[in-house]
Every structure is written in structure tokens, then in C-alpha cells.
Amino acid sequence: MKKKNEENRHAESFEESLETLFGREAELTDEELDEELGACGIDSAELQANVHKQLFDYANHHYRTLDRDVPENLEKTLRALRPPSATEKAKAVVRTAENLVGSFLDTTKTMSAELLSTPLPTQTRYPEFAFRNKKELSAADKDLLQSEQEDVDSSDES
Amino acid sequence: MNETEYRRLLKILTVRACRALSVAASKGETWVLAESGKSPADYAAETLIRWGTNQLQFSGTPEALVAYLTKVMTNAIISTLRKREVKTSRNGKTMLADELTEDSSSQSKPETLFDLRSLMRDDAFREALRQCTADDDALQEYVLAIEMFEDTIPAARDIASLLGVPETEIYKRRRKLARRLGKHGFTASRRRSKV
């Protein structure tokens, strides 16, 4: 009893130390938990598969092979930690791809709508603006300017 | 608890085990990670087996269950830390759940590990903290602030008030320090185990 009390006291003190230094684990988001596990060299999916295997082996050895019922909590834990099957994995990949494509299309639509709704600067509506930095005009440019000039002249005459 | 909550519980338990073991390893208990024969995942699995097979009596909310199992696992880790003969084990492999049994033989007393004040005065642990925070002034400042509370265990708001930063900044620094010490502890352990 004395030993147990001492262990409990140590556990409380140790928990207090860990909490003061690093905060409570339960307050971390799933992403933060994954990140911290990653820093310790642990992949979340592998962790789940590894622990599931340990629990599965334990359930087989201590219950199923002896024809005994697996306790409800162990059964629930096993179900929750069961790694996804190949079909489930494939479906997840397809879902992720669909989401990616969907979000890409949404972004494209939003950006196109934004671009089309933005009025062009007034100057860009006039042809001379397009030639403002040209030092030497090509024959095609000259022809184009000529035809523009003729348009302007003819409208003046009428 | 639903399936998502179970998966989250496993992560929380494993992160706690990582933190506890990396602190122990950083403090100089070099055998803890490489040679104790149990990985953080083993501790989490052991706890889930004890819970799953009704070896632990608990009746409360799922939130309280997480805290309860975390405490149970911390107890198990402390129990391992106190066992002297673990130091003589040179296995280093993940153990089968069947082999996860209690042992009540002679024990060492790594007392300085459990108390924050003693821990912060431990040379090896301070060196580990120094290495983890060497390139980060904010983290160095955070560690220094904890050291300044000589007689009390400071809450996040106490540290925030001392440093003149928002409380959320303290939570951020805590998470960063945990990641860095975890990385440091496990990397150092792997390095030692190769020697």
C-alpha cells in the first residue's frame, strides 16, 4: 500500500512536471498530435496498425483460441483501431483525388469570375495604349494604325 | 466513445509516453528508450489492453477516461523507471502484449525525475533543454521563466504574465518544446543504441 501511494505521488508529480513543461496532451488537435508523434519518429497510421496487432494477438491468445468472448471494451477498441482494408484505402485515395480536383475547379471558377468582373483600366481600351512602348513599328502595326486612323477620319467626315 | 475518439485516445497516450520517456532519456536515463524493451506504443497498447479487459475500474465520462488512462499509463512508466533490472535487459525490441507483466523486484529511485524543481536542476536535463532551445530565443526565455519559479509550479498564465506575452504564446512554446525534446530524446537514444 505504501509503495502504491508513493507511486501515485510520483505519478502526480511527474504529470505535473510534464504538464508545466509541455501542456496537456488532450488539448492538442489531431494535427498537433500527429506532428509531435512525427517528431519522435512515429507515423500515426503505423502506430494504429502496430497497436491493433498487439491487441488483436492478445484477444486471439487469451479469448478466441480458448473459445471465450472478447470483452466488449477490447472489441470496441479493436474495431476502432482496425487498419483500413485495401478497398477502403483505394476508396480513400479516390475520395482525396475527387476533393482535390473539385477544389481546383472551384478555385479556377472563382478566379475567372473575379478576373471577368474586374474592369480593365480605361487606357487599355484605346489602341494607342498598346503601342506606347514601341520604338519601331512593324509593317503590320503600321497597317493596323493606318486602318484605325482611316476609321477615325471617316467618322469625323460623316 | 466512438471510433474517432478511440483513435485519438491512442494518439494522446502515445504522445504522453513519448514525452515521459524523452524526459527520462534526456535526464540521462540512457537505457530508457533503447533498452527497456518497451516503446511508447507498447505502453499505450498495454494500457488499452488493461482497460479493454476490465482490469481497470472506471465509470465516468469519455473525457475523464482519457485523463484516467493517461495517469494509469504514467504510473506504468514510472514503475518501469524504478526497476533496476530493466537496465540489464538488452532486448530493445517491441514486446508482445502477453509479455507485458508487472515485476516487483528491487528498484532504483530516480527521484529527481518526478519533481519539476529537481528535474530543472538536473545537469543532464538542463543540457538537453539547452541543446533543444539553442537556436530559439523564445524557447530559451520560456525555460528560464519556469526556472524562475523556485517554490511553485507555474501555470501558463503565471509564465505569460512574467514574460509579458499572451497566454496562447505559452501554449505555443510548450508544444514546440515538446516536439523538440521528443525529437532530441529519440534521436539521441537511437544514436546510443547503435553504438
| B119 and B102 share one domain | no
Phi–psi pair at B92, nearest 5 degrees = 75, 0
Q: What is the pLDDT of residue A138?
A: 83
pLDDT at A33 over 50: yes
Q: Which residues of A64-73 are buried (b: 16+ CB within 10 A; e: fewer)?
A: eeeeeebbeb
Could you give the CA distance from residue A15 to residue B70 in angstroms, rounded to a whole number? 9
User: Are B64 and B137 in a shared domain?
Assistant: no
Instruction: List the pLDDT tens digit at each of the 195 positions of chain B.
Output: 888 999 999 999 999 999 998 888 776 655 555 556 788 999 999 999 999 999 998 888 877 999 999 999 998 888 887 764 444 443 344 444 444 444 433 333 456 677 788 888 888 888 889 988 999 999 999 999 988 887 778 889 999 999 999 999 999 999 999 999 888 876 655 555 443
Task: Note whether B99 and B193 are same-domain residues.
Answer: no
Instruction: Note whether B163 and B96 are same-domain residues.
Output: no
pLDDT digits (tens, 9 = 90+) for B32-88: 555 567 889 999 999 999 999 999 988 888 779 999 999 999 988 888 877 644 444
Least Cα separation, residue A65 to chain B (angstroms): 14
Same domain membership, residue B24 and residue B94: yes
C-alpha A60/C-alpha A101 separation (Å) is 43
| pLDDT at site B28 | 60
Of residues B23 and A31, more confidently modeled: A31
Write the pLDDT tens digit of every residue in A69-120: 999 999 999 999 998 877 777 877 888 888 888 888 888 888 888 888 877 6
Kind and range of the H or E element at A105? helix A86-117
Q: Which of B2, B5, B23 sits opposite A18 (nearest CB)?
A: B23
Residues B18 and B87 placed together within one structural domain of the fold: yes
Length of chain B: 195
Examine the domain organization and report whether B93 and B181 are in the same domain: no
Residues B70 and B134 both lie in one domain: no
**The last residue of a domain, from among B110, B126, B154:** B110
**Residue B177 is part of which domain span?**
115-195
Query: Across the strands, what pairs with B83?
Result: B107
For A13, which of B5, B79, B115 is closest by C-beta distance? B115
pLDDT of amino acid A54 = 95
pTM here is: 0.71
Same domain? B70 vs B135 = no
Residue A155: C-alpha distances to residues A128, A129, A145, A158 (Å): 18, 21, 15, 5
Do B51 and B120 sit in the same domain of this protein? Answer: no
Residue of B nearest to A36 (CA): B179
- Closest CA–CA distance from residue B21 to any residue of chain A (Å): 11
Nearest to B18 by CA among B35, B46, B43, B55: B43
The pLDDT score that the predictor gives to residue B29 is 57
Cell of A137: 513599328
Max Cα–Cα distance, chain A, nearest Å: 113
How many C-beta atoms lie closer than 10 Å to residue B175's C-beta?
18
Say if residue B11 is in the same domain as residue B46.
yes
- Same structural domain, B3 and B94: yes
Query: At a CB cut-off of 8 Å and minimum separation 6, what does B95 contact?
Result: B37, B38, B42
Number of independent structural domains in chain B: 2
Cα–Cα dist A4/B170, whole Å: 34
Strand partners, B107: B83
Residue in B126, B174, B191 to test binding to A, most A beta-carbons within 10 Å? B174
CB contact under 8 A, B19 and A14: no
Residue of B48, B93, B105, B176 for testing the chain A interface, max A β-carbons within 10 Å: B48
- If one counts every other C-beta atom within 10 angstroms of the C-beta of residue B58, the result is 12
Q: Would the ipTM clear 0.90, i.e. be above it?
A: no
Domain residue limits, chain A:
1-42, 43-82, 84-118, 121-158
